[in-house]
Amino acid sequence: MEYKFPSGFLWGAATSAHQVEGWNFNDWTEWEKTNANRLAKETRMEFQEWQQEKFPEMFEPKNYISDHACGHYKRFEQDFDIVKELGQNAHRFSIEWSRIEPEEGKFDEREIEHYQLVIKALKERGLEPFVTLWHWTLPIWLAKKGGVRNADFPKYFEKYVKKMVEVLGRDVKYWLTINEPEIYSLNSYYRGRWTPQKKGILNFYFSMRSLMKAHKRAYRAIKKITPLSMVGGVCNLSDFKSSEGVVNAILKILFERFWNHRYLRRVHHQLDFIGLNFYFHNRIDYGINKNKKEVVSDVGWDTHPEGIENVLANLKRYDKPVYITESGMADKEDKYRRWFIEETLKAVSRALERGVNIQGYFHWSLLDNFEWDKGFWPRFGLVEVNYKTMERRIRPSALEYAKICKNNSINL
Ligand code: IFM
């Protein structure tokens, strides 16, 4: 049986500036330089033997330096040709704040022009731009002032956002303010794994609070300048399932409330749509993440694509359009990606049948790219990147995804 997606459904893939562009200068590039040796050493404790054997590059400090990344800053036109060839009609990317405002209050006109060209290149190929305004990297001057934890962070963000909307707003309908505030706060301000490596529940709380305020300010600013634009936020939500027993059922409700709904409940009046990033499934059994781990990705994450149905159904309460702004898996050999995409999209079709207003799907990612503190070894791309030659090679799963995009349908 064939399932037809609603007409006008957007099909695409996503990237973020720091992970693909190359030649950045921001808080992450500086952190990478001082932490590369440590990260290479810690790998032995963090990853299993099969991962260490499959990806020996994880032991090399240079794996942790983003440097030229995928060179997408210079190759964006060729990369968008691939997107077009793959039958997609939309594309999600992010703007690198540190390029735009390298010094406080000084905007770099040449970099603004760069992103104008990026958007023009997308439009010329019939690709609807979804523009993320902040995907985790900060200009150095702002990081020095305490970044997200500076009480004025929301104001700094608003100023940058206003500038972006003034110069790009004519050609952009869809804006995404902040990527995954909960994942950023968790890793940078609770676990202390990412720059600026702060720890503790209070740090997490204040980081989230600041990002919520920043989102709200950005929303109002964008709508004031371009009232017809659509402004969304991007959350990384989990599928929670509980094993038997009252305790597990209660734990499930609490985790779901805290992780999936705390941010959304607070910002939903300032959202025209919800951006959902889906990767994680959590079985609660007197503890979190007691998963069966039937299919595990290269980074060791349990993949449970059908879980997206449950998460989508739970978003119905907000009564907003939903775009799946990320969903994907690290799979160097492309063994599971086709299965993963198909199972995800079948689950999406079931959620549509259940009345969830889903309007688009963006696979993470278009290209293999720089995966933050793990560096280059995880391969999330529909398109493989040879980091030595910068050559691109379309993976077989991408061709299968292309069929779905072109037909706007999937065989159930
Ligand atoms: O690479 C990241 C991306 O930057 C944010 N969402 C999850 C992806 C995979 O970890």
pLDDT digits (tens, 9 = 90+) for 88-97: 999 999 999 9
Domain boundaries, the chain: 2-411
pTM for the structure as a whole = 0.98
Average pLDDT, whole number, for the chain?
A: 97
Q: What share of the chain in percent tops pLDDT 70?
A: 100
The residue type of 70 is: C
End-to-end CA distance of the chain: 5
Q: Counting every residue, how long is the chain?
A: 412
Residue 8 alpha carbon to ligand 1 centre in Å: 26
Q: Which pLDDT belongs to residue 290?
A: 73
Judge if the beta carbon of residue 371 lies within 6 A of ligand 1: yes
Q: Where does the pLDDT of residue 250 fall: very low under 50, low under 70, confident under 90, or very high at 90 and above?
A: very high
**311, 312, 361: which is closest to 341 by C-alpha?**
361
For residue 64, what are its two tokens? 């942790």
CB 381 within 8 A of CB 368: yes
Q: Where does the pLDDT of residue 71 fall: very low under 50, low under 70, confident under 90, or very high at 90 and above?
A: very high
Residue 193 alpha carbon to ligand 1 centre in Å: 15
Q: Where does the pLDDT of residue 82 fall: very low under 50, low under 70, confident under 90, or very high at 90 and above?
A: very high
Burial of 408 (0-12, 13-18, 19+ CB in 10 A): middle
Q: Where does the pLDDT of residue 286 fall: very low under 50, low under 70, confident under 90, or very high at 90 and above?
A: confident
Q: What is the mean pLDDT of residues 144-169?
A: 98
Q: Where does the pLDDT of residue 291 fall: very low under 50, low under 70, confident under 90, or very high at 90 and above?
A: confident
pLDDT digits (tens, 9 = 90+) for 374-396: 999 999 999 999 999 999 999 99
Q: Which of 234-243, 286-295, 367-376, 403-412 is predicted with the least confidence, judged by mean pLDDT? A: 286-295
Q: Which pLDDT belongs to residue 121?
A: 99
User: What's the rounded Cα separation, in Å, for the pair 78 and 238?
Assistant: 34
User: What's the rounded Cα separation, in Å, for the pair 173 and 195?
Assistant: 32
Q: Where does the pLDDT of residue 72 fall: very low under 50, low under 70, confident under 90, or very high at 90 and above?
A: very high
User: What's the rounded Cα separation, in Å, for the pair 241 and 290?
Assistant: 10
Q: Which of 129-133, 183-187, 287-291, 352-356 is predicted with the least confidence, judged by mean pLDDT? A: 287-291
Residue 371 alpha carbon to ligand 1 centre in Å: 7
Element housing 338 (H / E): helix 337-353
**Would you call 370 helix, strand, or coil by DSSP?**
coil
pLDDT digits (tens, 9 = 90+) for 312-354: 999 999 999 999 999 999 999 999 999 999 999 999 999 999 9
User: What's the rounded Cα separation, in Å, for the pair 251 and 285?
Assistant: 9
Q: Which pLDDT belongs to residue 293?
A: 77
Q: Which residues pair with 278 in a beta bridge?
A: 237, 327
Judge if the beta carbon of residue 370 lies within 6 A of ligand 1: no
Q: Which pLDDT belongs to residue 238?
A: 96
Q: Which pLDDT belongs to residue 289?
A: 74
For residue 200, what are its two tokens? 């503790």
Q: Which pLDDT belongs to residue 92?
A: 99
Measured from the Cα of 236, ligand 1's closest atom is: 6
Q: Which pLDDT belongs to residue 26?
A: 98
Judge if the beta carbon of residue 66 lies within 6 A of ligand 1: no
Q: What is the mean pLDDT of residues 164-172?
A: 98
Architecture in CATH of 2-411: Alpha-Beta Barrel (3.20)
Q: What is the mean pLDDT of residues 246-250?
A: 93
Residue 57 alpha carbon to ligand 1 centre in Å: 20
